[in-house]
Structure 1
Amino acid sequence: MNVLRAAVCLILLSSAMAASAQAPNECPSLPASSGLQWQQQAQADFILCKASTSDGREVLSLMLSTRDPALPLSRPLRQEKGGFAGESLYWYQPDLGGQKPPGYDTRRITVVKYDKNRYAQIALYAGDAQELGTLQTLTQGMNLNPTAVAAGR
């Protein structure tokens, strides 16, 4: 009976280790010149990274997950082409049910599958068009390939 218990414990432990190996484990590094700081919230199958300016304004939200967020992105709201983690993408204005709050013109959102069963949902909250371009360039340069994450970049 003890052998059976040990086998069950071993299987559960290996399953937990496999799940943690699949789940993202940290936010990607930000260039020091960006002036942004991450706030990280980790759950079992995703990590939420929020980048804020020195005055506390959130400008970037990045959710890394092992599950497809299945976020509907409407073609009429498609804006610029871009990239993330080596993958091509389109940026979209968020669908806010017809509402256009202040700053809506420079808000963007997208979802990218960047590896097998790895997804990134990215939202940008730029203050103006110049900051939007800077944030899009910043996200395009982020490295999320599994070997880079495992090696700590």
Structure 2
Amino acid sequence: MKTVRIVSAAMLLALSSTALAQQAEQCPTLPADSGLHWDQQTQSDFIVCKASTGDGRTVLNMMLTARDPDMAFNRALRAEKGSFGGESMHWYKLDMGGRDLPGLESRRITVVKLDKNRFAQIWIDAADTAELGNLQNLTQTLNLNSSALAGAR
């Protein structure tokens, strides 16, 4: 009886670690030298990837979804050009209803249509403009796994 429990526990552990490994593959691979790691939340029609620094500060967020986030960005808030997943895009400054809050100069958001029924909503919450530039460059190098949102197509 004790052997059956141990074998059952070992099998459950092996299955859960396999499931976690498969789940982790859905967020793009971060460069080893980035100092960031992903925290991932998966639902049936979207994946949220949050990249955090070693001290726990979340600096890069990405939602991969099969549904159009349908976000309208004000052209006056358009900032830098960039690319993601092979698609050209623009980063936008955050609209806080005309209020000039501290730290807004180092925050950006964008939505990229990757394919039919495949979208990426990306937002950056950098500590300063230097980190913002580094994170924008990093997003251009990220490769999406073909299995991301495969079930939602």
TM score, norm. by length of structure 1 = 0.77
How many angstroms does 1:146 deviate by?
2.5
Structure 2: segments with no counterpart, 5+ residues: 1-24
Higher RCO (CA < 8 A, seq sep 6+): 2
**Number of the residue aligned with 2:67:** 67
Taking only aligned residues, the RMSD between alpha carbons, in angstroms, comes to 1.8
Is 1:43 the counterpart of 2:34? The answer is: no
The one-letter code sitting in structure 2 at the alignment partner of 1:116 is K
Cα distance between partner residues in 2 of 1:105 and 1:146: 33
Following the alignment from structure 1 to structure 2, what is the Cα–Cα distance between the partners of residues 48 and 148?
11
* 2:136 is the counterpart of 1:139: no
Distance 1:114 1:125 in 2: 22
How many residues in Structure 1 have an aligned counterpart in Structure 2?
A: 126
For residues 58 and 148 of structure 2, the distance between their equivalents in structure 1, rounded to whole angstroms, comes to: 26
For the residues of structure 2 that align with 1:117 and 1:44, how far apart are their CA atoms?
14
The code of the aligned residue for 2:93 comes to Q
What's the secondary structure of 1:33's corresponding residue? helix
**CA separation of 1:41/1:31 partners in 2, compared to 1, >3 Å: closer, same or farther?**
same
| Cα drift, residue 99 of structure 1 | 2.5
Local SS of the residue matching 1:135: helix
Q: TM-score, normalised by structure 2?
A: 0.77
Map 1:23-34 onto structure 2 (within 5 A): 26-34=26-34
The one-letter code sitting in structure 2 at the alignment partner of 1:123 is W
> Matched residue of 2:144: which SS?
coil
Contact 1:52/1:59 (CA < 8 Å) preserved in 2?
A: yes
Residue number in structure 2 paired with 1:119: 119
**Residues in 1 aligned to 2:109 and 2:148: alpha-carbon distance in whole angstroms:** 24
Q: CA deviation at 1:133?
A: 0.8
Give % identity: 60
Could you say what secondary structure the match of 2:91 adopts? Answer: strand
Q: 2:113 aligns to what SS in structure 1?
A: strand
**Unmatched 5+ residue regions in structure 1?**
1-24
Measure how far apart 1:129 and its partner are: 1.3
Distance 1:148 1:58 in 2: 21
